[in-house]
Chain A
């Protein structure tokens, strides 16, 4: 955090360099007084005592060229070389470890009351399309993103430089181009599901009872329980942050300078690895972690019993809305696994 603050300070201070670096310069030297142009020549060390970045004037119409020196690159380097890999490794490996342990200890969360044979629509086709579009993009973005941070140490020795570059080049293209559907997905997710994801009192109860993960409790929940809401907000906020910072990096110097881009990359990298770690949990719970959960995004219809166990309040609402004797009571030929 200190690093980030320093960076922000650098950006602010750097803007004023001309004025600050002027030392003994008179406010307006219009009066033809004695000037020894050599008397106030700055040295690099003096300037760096006041500034984090040296900027001046240059004749090329390219603002970035006018930055003479930005040793902050060194801090960014240490972030990229040390901090980010550690954060990433801890978050991702830690999450995997937790999930494996959880699975070993708890196993799959079974449908306790068994399948009723009746289903209820949980996500319509559009919702599922948006979800999967976003999810597929996310996975590719995640893998291609992780490649940038970890590829050199993990993949390069295996693939050799030429193959690794070819792969990374495609990964970069994929990362750049798939960012667009991903961003659209995040926006749609945000709009589509925001109504069900406003935190409320039920969530407190749900959280208090640990979401029912431990033991065989089933705290009540509306359409989205607090855990899902967390995923939602991670996707919306994390995805949003990743998208914004990503575009700052993708459109270099349109709106920001190198300091801004370093900041953007710090945010992008950190959010990216944490996002990925969180999504691992999401994937776990949506697949092997819970019986009947995948159907929600698979076919879009879930067993009523599943709904009752996990989203009792929502089911009640649904039933109240559509009436208890709807046609979807027909047993499905092949229940989703």
Chain B
């Protein structure tokens, strides 16, 4: 009776036959494939074709109905894992591993493997709601958008367009992000931001200011080629688990050095070959400490520096101050260990640097990033395989949303806010510059960076004269951004209460729904998740992947793009905004949006990735090699997977994408490149004796493969082409377009403004990079700290060091004051470090993401982390009578803030250090606020947010907050 298995072989389905079974069990080949261990070629043998239909013998809801496979991208980090969804009768019934993806090869982490639950929707917002006298009331989409639109117009009338804040999301598709930025522009404000502000804004600023583009230079899979990898301020084992597949396999195959530098002995460190514990906020001393040994022993790459780096001598001067003794005094890292690490990094090459929030989320975030870049430059570890700055970003499309301008300082694709940028996008959008300017309060404010998302509540609560725009913020329109990921939550709650209008457009109510005592004027709009939305997403490695809509939006949820269209219609600029975008049933056609991006995205090489090319890649993933990311066969042969930007020229130009930035070993047409001379071609330096000299910023005798110019060169314009005599290669149509771009001085039209793509095409045909061939800047003149210098955190546990390493003076940045210096001085004077003796740092858990609303609403994930906790060292816990698993009160250094959570007593954190995850919300200063959520839409797990405790401190370049180094006190509850 119980041995029915004997005849099972006969019953196995067709798939078994397809896999080539010989004798019952899975044979080796089939096995390797099914376990994702086989290489691409082998994997091709038994592949399920995309969209194939498999007979449903297995029992989801209905037996017999056909099952369709749809591909989308996991939304929970930037690795870009392919999610393979099995859909039956319009219901997502199962997930299969996407073996063919050259990025994740079937793998997922806890979040990716549980992602189907998101669309189950047990805890999703079901219909639009509004807060009426403290009660959530249902209303129709029409009513909601009408009321919101009227209120927005009223605020616009009274306070001007800058009083409305458009907070976007890294979970938008590229098309959604672009549309959101465009929307803000058409509304008439630069107050348009998203999560990148609080994650990698400092990376983007620091890296772009060094060598041209603000993105990961290499790719996850390329890390397999590294001989030494340093992970500094990152815990990818929890934040980017699938990346560890590449790191660990690389470590095994190369027998590579894997060094983790972090205040916590993280799960990543557990698999490292060496772990270095530093004090939070002392990254620059540690990097300089390494460079001290590198310069002293002559381990630097002199030829590389000579040819490709500007200003390294200025760095040497600063590094001299960082003797091993001083480094140890400040950071706690012993010199001998640092010497060993420095030697590995400089001599066992290629070496790569990996960083995340540990480096970026500081008042010195940009300087930290710059220091890391300088370490790479000094050792010649950029622009080649196995090397580079591998910056792991945090959401599906945070790279894409950054690229597409959800940023207070620029229009899409880093064109900036100057008149030229507005005119460029005006040409792409086909709207008149004058009309666009009329949308803004003034031309001046049109070209002024907006308020960063870290400061929105300051812009609400500060006296009007301290906010450099026509009025305070009066309304927040939030699409897909949590309220608990920004520091200083007690201040945010205050800000919320003062807002006239708060609109939260999200699949979940989010912390915005419960924080503050608002009684009226809050709207919740149910939005489709990323899985219910088609469009492209840019992974951390700049590869763009096309995701299909897996199922139709559930309940009354609407696509982001549809909501933006409807609201634009209500506000009266839909016709202009969607001039070149077809709208079907109120839903803008995503392919059209991407084509518009292609038409304007020259500066960053977002021009070659047409929807058709991206869809071809997605459908033929199996053709791409995991290690090189290159298609070896099939319709995309020669392309790199996802056409990682820059993908130059028009789609027809068929540039394969750029897998490694600044790689001179390849010709530009194969994805090669050089550093970008983005900050002029020469610089006037003042020497010690007061005399001046001009120094070239162009490449010094280096060039990319097949370049016809064997030295540095500036960016291409029509004028330069003429000088070189290459303008003859332009077609007439191209010339006509260039003429149209600038009828008065066509020679000034550059590769980035030429809407024909002709200048790029011609430059590349001659083996040259359109943006020019320059030197990376070790000295990033123009930044507040052109040479990175150490500055103590605002709330430092070492007040004795503040005199020598103070934070920057107070200044007005991004329309609001940054009084970091005053706050730091007051903290030192008041002896805050005595009252709050523990360092508080925050970070990610593998089970949750971001503010955590959607993951804490996912029962499969929520079960794994049911309580907010703080990690504390056993000796600190013992001193305070705190037991592992016991409740504690944590108090913060500002606002008399307090938070109740559980203690996790562990040696993972050193003595004097605590760490807490930032994903929790739903409690506020000890109070469970579950009742404040709309009924049925409360997450499964609630908890105190660590950002109740985090404090003041902003990076001067980007407005980045400081959640990684503040102070707290813990006592048993």
Q: Which residues of A contact B (CB under 8 A)?
A: 25, 28-38, 59-61, 161
Cβ B866 vs Cβ A35 within 8 A: no
Known contacts A32-B277, A32-B278; A37 and B269 CB within 8 A of each other: yes
CB contacts (< 8 Å) of A36 on chain B: these are: 273-275
User: Which of A30, A31, A61, A161 is close to B866, meaning CB atoms less than 8 Å apart?
Assistant: A61
Cβ A32 vs Cβ B867 within 8 A: no
Chain B 299-339: CB-based contact to A (< 8 A → 1; otherwise 0): 00000000000000000000000000000000111101100
Report the interface size class on chain B.
Answer: 35 or more
CA distance A161 to B2 in the complex (A): 10
B517 close to A (CB within 8 Å): no
Known contacts A37-B265, A38-B273, A59-B865; A29 and B907 CB within 8 A of each other: yes
Cβ B265 vs Cβ A29 within 8 A: yes
Cβ B332 vs Cβ A31 within 8 A: yes
B276 close to A (CB within 8 Å): yes
Cβ B274 vs Cβ A34 within 8 A: yes
B687 close to A (CB within 8 Å): no
Closest 7 CB pairs of A and B: A30-B911, A32-B277, A30-B910, A35-B275, A32-B332, A34-B337, A59-B864
Given contact pairs A34-B276, A59-B864, a sample of 17 additional A-B residue pairs in the complex whose CB atoms are under 8 Å apart? A28-B907, A29-B910, A30-B913, A31-B277, A31-B910, A32-B277, A32-B278, A32-B334, A33-B337, A34-B337, A35-B265, A36-B273, A37-B260, A37-B272, A37-B275, A61-B867, A161-B2
Cβ B265 vs Cβ A32 within 8 A: no
Say how far A27's CB is from chain B's closest CB, in angstroms. 9
B799 close to A (CB within 8 Å): no
B271 close to A (CB within 8 Å): yes
Cβ A30 vs Cβ B337 within 8 A: no
Instruction: Give the one of B278, B911, B913 with max A CB within 10 A.
Output: B911
- The residue on A at minimum CB distance from B912 is A30
Say how far A239's CB is from chain B's closest CB, in angstroms. 37
Say how far A59's CB is from chain B's closest CB, in angstroms. 5
Interface residues of B in 850-893 (CB under 8 A from A): 863-867, 873-875
CB contacts (< 8 Å) of A161 on chain B: these are: 1-2
Cβ B277 vs Cβ A35 within 8 A: yes
Cβ A34 vs Cβ B864 within 8 A: no
Known contacts A59-B865, A60-B864; A28 and B873 CB within 8 A of each other: yes
CB contacts (< 8 Å) of A61 on chain B: these are: 866-867
CB contacts (< 8 Å) of B560 on chain A: these are: none
CB contacts (< 8 Å) of A28 on chain B: these are: 873-875, 907, 910-911
Say how far A158's CB is from chain B's closest CB, in angstroms. 16
CB contacts (< 8 Å) of A31 on chain B: these are: 277, 332, 910
User: Which of B2, B334, B873 is close to A33, meaning CB atoms less than 8 Å apart?
Assistant: B334
Cβ A37 vs Cβ B907 within 8 A: no
Known contacts A37-B269, A161-B1; A25 and B907 CB within 8 A of each other: yes
CB contacts (< 8 Å) of A35 on chain B: these are: 265, 274-275, 277
Say how far A234's CB is from chain B's closest CB, in angstroms. 41
CB contacts (< 8 Å) of B334 on chain A: these are: 32-34
CB contacts (< 8 Å) of A33 on chain B: these are: 277, 334, 337
CB contacts (< 8 Å) of B865 on chain A: these are: 59
B270 close to A (CB within 8 Å): yes
Say how far B25's CB is from chain A's closest CB, in angstroms. 27
CB contacts (< 8 Å) of B272 on chain A: these are: 37-38
B193 close to A (CB within 8 Å): no
- The residue on A at minimum CB distance from B271 is A37
B847 close to A (CB within 8 Å): yes
User: Which of B1, B271, B866, B910 is close to A32, meaning CB atoms less than 8 Å apart?
Assistant: B910
Interface residues of B in 270-291 (CB under 8 A from A): 270-279
Say how far B396's CB is from chain A's closest CB, in angstroms. 24
CA distance A29 to B277 in the complex (A): 9
CB contacts (< 8 Å) of A25 on chain B: these are: 907
CB contacts (< 8 Å) of B336 on chain A: these are: 34
Chain B 182-217: CB-based contact to A (< 8 A → 1; otherwise 0): 000000000000000000000000000000000000
CB contacts (< 8 Å) of A34 on chain B: these are: 274, 276, 334, 336-337, 340
Say how far B711's CB is from chain A's closest CB, in angstroms. 45
Question: Can you show 5 pairs from A to B with CB atoms below 8 A apart?
Answer: A28-B911, A32-B331, A34-B336, A37-B272, A161-B1
CB contacts (< 8 Å) of B874 on chain A: these are: 28
Instruction: Give the one of A32, A36, A61 with max B CB within 10 A.
Output: A32
User: Which of B270, B276, B864, B875 is close to A30, meaning CB atoms less than 8 Å apart?
Assistant: B875
CA distance A35 to B333 in the complex (A): 12
CA distance A34 to B1 in the complex (A): 61
CA distance A335 to B880 in the complex (A): 77
CB contacts (< 8 Å) of A37 on chain B: these are: 260, 265, 269-275
CA distance A307 to B277 in the complex (A): 86
CB contacts (< 8 Å) of B873 on chain A: these are: 28, 30
CA distance A36 to B874 in the complex (A): 21
Say how far B584's CB is from chain A's closest CB, in angstroms. 45
CA distance A30 to B278 in the complex (A): 10
CA distance A31 to B275 in the complex (A): 12
Cβ A32 vs Cβ B276 within 8 A: yes
